[in-house]
């Protein structure tokens, strides 16, 4: 397992569409929560320079690496540091 999806996921399908390993799937109990199959995920190492899910994901802190660090930390995608909830 290289990458995982946190509960910040909004279920927008973007990662599922670009994953070259078909490792992304929707939680059967919650279609707005996507998950990465730990054994299928290769981290895209053999295929692309960057992990594809984390390169298209629009939500900060939704994808974490093996050390549980957010690949896209707060503010890195939207430029918004202070979050306000919808």
Partner 1 sequence: MELHTDERLSAASTGCSSSQAEGASVSHLLPKDVQQQIARHPCYSKQAHKYARMHLPVAPACNIQCNYCNRKYDCSNESRPGVVSHLVDPHGALKQFRAIKKRAPNLTVVGIAGPGDALANPKATFSALKLIREEDPTAQLCISTNGLMLAEYADELAAHGVHHLTITINTIDPVIAAKIYPWVYYNHRRLRGLAAAERLIANQLAGLEAAAKLGMLVKVNTVLIPGINDQQIATLSAAVKARGALMHNIMPLISAAEHGTYFGVTGQRGPTEAELSSARDASGQFMPQMTHCQQCRADAVGTLGGGCGTEAASETSQPIKIAVATNGGPLINTHFGHAQQFEIYQLDSATTEFHFLERRQVAQYCNGASECPEEEADKQAMFKAIEDCRMVLCSRIGIAPWRTLEQMGITPNVDHAFAPIDEALATLAKTQLAPKADSHKESNDEVCHY
Per CB under 8 A, residues contacting partner 1 are 10-14, 16-18, 31-32, 48-50, 52, 55-56, 58-59, 77-80, 82-86
Find, among 80, 4, 47, the residue nearest to 57 by Cα: 4
Find, among 44, 26, 28, 46, the residue nearest to 36 by Cα: 26
- How many Å apart are CA 64 and CA 6, to the nearest integer? 7
Residue length of the chain: 86
């Amino acid at each position: 397992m290289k990458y995982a999806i946190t509960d910040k996921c909004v279920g927008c399908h973007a990662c599922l569409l670009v994953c070259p390993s078909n490792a992304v799937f929707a939680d059967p109990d919650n279609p707005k929560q996507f998950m990465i199959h730990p054994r299928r995920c290769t981290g895209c190492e053999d295929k692309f320079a960057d992990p594809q899910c984390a390169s298209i994901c629009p939500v900060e802190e939704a994808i974490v690496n093996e050390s549980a660090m957010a690949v896209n930390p707060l503010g890195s995608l939207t430029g918004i540091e202070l979050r306000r909830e919808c």
